[in-house]
Amino acid sequence: MATDQTSPGKTHNLRIDGSRLWASLMETAAFGGTPAGGINRLTLSPEDGQVRDWFRAACEAAGLEVGVDALGTQYALRRGRDMSRKPIACGSHLDTQPTGGKFDGILGVLAGLEVMRSLDDAGIETEAPLLLVNWTNEEGSRFAPAMMASAAYAGEFTTEEILAKRDAAGISVAEALDAIGCRGPEPVGGREIGAFVELHIEQGPILEAEGKTIGVVEGGQGIAWFDGTVTGFESHAGTTPMPRRRDALLGLAELALAVERIACAHAPSAVATMGEAVIGAPSRNVVPGQIRFTLDLRDPRSETLDAMETALQEAAAEIGTRRNLAFQIERIWRKEPVPFDTKLVAAVDAAAEALGHSRRRIISGAGHDACNLAGRVPTTMIFVPCKDGVSHNESESATPADCAAGADVLLHTLLALANAPRA
């Protein structure tokens, strides 16, 4: 590789190959592709194994050194002039929701790969090494909690705790890793990272509505997840008078509306979702006696999360007393609001400005691996628009131009960080 092309004057016109990035996005969409044009690639599924194999091969073809840790997270290193410096990292995830799209997560991984390829094409060597990461289980749709591998990297869980987590079928993370041959030898958290930048679709409507190309992400909002059960009494649908029923489903319906009111009371920032509800022994002519459900509460302020949780428990208690039902609601995970590193945020802003892209500061409504890493390393994110703000849906869509713009901002942010004077 050349060693004289890292100055701003030599790189300011550098751009990634947008056509190659788009081709990679479309090629990898075949792994778990659905008839409706989306992707079903649950973490550590055979389809996830296929895209991981593709990613490893593509990285090795680009001359990157690939390693894997004990939770299956993949690391692809591009060497720099000064290997004593901590690598500047980028990346995201390759797993999807059961009805996911072609861009959530994988855009950040493939854009990072495209950055490495474009630097090679231009013969550019950086001072610090660059690192591209595919984090295991960002989505949390098969194993809870979400973003578990990056959380373990940041020290929020031990490797053993994560390996013991089980999916709905009783399969552990350890068993799933071994089934597709993706458990690596590296210790989790053993690789030091100097900074981390994650490119992602916004997953919301703000950038598109305002006609902005780049979201300069200043932080992520807080998230609280709950598992709940409402218990009533199963009885005959034809012989039980309405006033004598202990109908778990009606109680849950009331709670769902209460959750909506709680979120609206903290508008516009708060959101709340009851994403799952399963009747214990469903039958057409039986009054439901027990239902398991989940809740997801989010807001950029810790105090609002606290207030929402208190209001949730109070609403459940009132509904339960009035309807003679028993609610049990347990918080299983909470992620506090995360501010991103101000110097990295400024670096993204400067890169977007230099490239001439319209931009705005923004808070991430979704959780991301970057939010976990911010507790250990300087971190920020770059957003690009997605059509109508739709994500976690097979119709999820982004334009080739916006994907390329985000990758260009990623490229120049990484160059600025990797070539900055040693602190």
Residue ranges of the annotated binding site for Zn(2+) are: 93, 104, 139, 200, 392
Nearest to 120 by CA among 260, 17, 37, 251: 17
Q: Report d(CA 116, CA 75) in Å as an integer.
A: 13
Residue type, 350: A
What is the phi/psi pair of residue 277, to 5°? -155, 120
Q: Is residue 355 within 8 Å of residue 402, measured between CB atoms?
A: no
Q: How far is Cα 134 from Cα 28, in angstroms, rounded to an integer?
A: 14
For strand 222-231 and strand 290-299, is the pairing parallel, antiparallel, or unpaired?
antiparallel
CA angle 310, 316, 320 (to 5 degrees): 150
Give the contacts of 244 (CB within 8 A, at least 6 positions apart). none
Q: Coil, strand or helix: which one is 333?
A: strand
The label of the residue with tokens 């090494």 reads 129
The C-alpha atoms of residue 138 and residue 140 are separated, in whole angstroms, by 6
Residues 6+ apart with CB under 8 A from 151: 145, 157, 372
Q: What whole-number distance in Å separates Cα of residue 306 and Cα of residue 321? A: 23
DSSP conformational letter for 87 = P
Three state DSSP letters for 308-321: HHHHHHHHHHHHHH
Q: What is residue 296's three-state secondary structure? A: strand
Residue 143 to residues 109, 271, 408, Cα–Cα distance (Å):
21, 23, 33
350 is written with which tokens? 């400067």
Tally of residues, the chain: 423
β-strands 74-78, 222-231: how paired? unpaired
Reported in sequence order, the residue ranges of 79-232 that DSSP labels E, i.e. its strands, are: 88-92, 130-134, 195-201, 214-220, 222-231
